[in-house]
Amino acid sequence: MKVLYIGDVVGKSGRKAVETHLPRLRDELALDFVIVNGENAAHGFGITGEICNAFFDLGVDAITTGNHAWDQREIINYMATEPRLLRPVNYPEGTPGRGMGVFEARGGKKVCVIQAMGRLFMDPLDDPFAGIQRALLNKKLGAGMDFIFVDVHAEATSEKMAIAHHFDGQVSMVVGTHSHVPTADAQIFSGGTAYQTDVGMCGDYDSVIGMTKGPAIGRFITKVKGERLTPATGEGTLCAVYVESDETTGLATRIAPVRLGGRLIEVMP
């Protein structure tokens, strides 16, 4: 299978980058399944049903979120009824929505998408290791599942890497989000799981992790929140990671970063 995961979409600039480059990627890479992290898509804070529908119209198959999942109140009811929009699986029981979904890819292949959120320097949620393990119950690569993807939305690189190593060989792909900076460690672990610590963001990189520079810098200098942060509006870069998997085992055979548009050096598989 050929799967693309697109990193945190930040504001209008990020949405435009996805709208511009995803059709080309779908054609050139002959993608079977596309996942997007949309938690910052609504002016940098959360996501709306309208934005979700726009992503689905572009050919996105599933959307993950993170700690900003609930920033737009209208999304609560939408998430409760839209199985393609996921929140972290380790939110407490009773939280609206779901943290895992099984979807049909091109050719009838079965793809399981799981999202977990880290706990180091983040909200104190339930154990992400246990949450992922529960989500994997009765889901096995090569025995009903053709591809299993895990998004770890976390601050600490060590936590993302520990989770990935723990589930090496059980899932096709573990990729981190949240830092909005693409890391250079794309690799396939010894057990066959593809990994990258952070896929990076889709947005304007002439910014402070997607936000306009002045107010963001001011917060560090003065230690006062001051002006509300707003997304930078220059040309956005699409950051993603592309993975190919073995048709029989579901394990990864190739991983490659993708960067298109904006200020970062272009990279294509």
pLDDT for the residue numbered 71: 87
What are the Cα distances from residue 86, in Å, to 153, 192, 235, 240, 267? 12, 25, 28, 18, 28
Whether 108 has a pLDDT exceeding 90, the answer reads yes
Q: What is the pLDDT of residues 35-57, one digit of tens each?
A: 999 999 999 899 999 999 999 99
Exactly one of 68, 153, 178, 180 is catalytic; which is it? 68
Q: Are 236 and 41 in contact (CB under 8 A)?
A: no
Known catalytic residue at 21: no
Tell me which H or E stretch contains 175. Answer: strand 173-177
Q: Give 237's pLDDT tier (boundaries 50, 70, 90).
A: very high
* CATH superfamily entry for domain 2-260: Metallo-dependent phosphatases (3.60.21.10)
Q: What is the pLDDT of residue 75?
A: 94
pTM higher than 0.85, yes or no?
yes
Whole-number pLDDT of residue 95: 92
Contacts of range 99-106, beta carbons closer than 8 Å, 24 or more positions apart: 99/131, 99/135, 100/135, 101/62, 102/139, 102/145, 103/33, 103/61, 103/62, 105/1, 105/3, 105/32, 105/33, 105/61, 105/146, 105/147, 106/31, 106/32, 106/33
Q: How confident is the model at residue 69 (pLDDT cuts 50, 70, 90)?
A: confident
Q: Output the six-digit token pair for 44.
A: 């940098």
Q: Determine the pLDDT at residue 114.
A: 98
Candidate from 81-85, 111-115, 227-231 with smallest mean pLDDT? 227-231
Instruction: Find the radius of gyration of the CA atoms of the chain.
Output: 17
Q: Which pLDDT band, with edges at 50, 70 and 90, does 132 fall under?
A: very high
Instruction: Tell me the per-residue pLDDT of 186-232, one tens digit each, with 9 for 90 and over.
Output: 999 999 999 999 999 999 999 999 989 998 888 889 987 777 889 99
**Weakest mean pLDDT among 21-25, 123-127, 153-157, 184-188:** 123-127
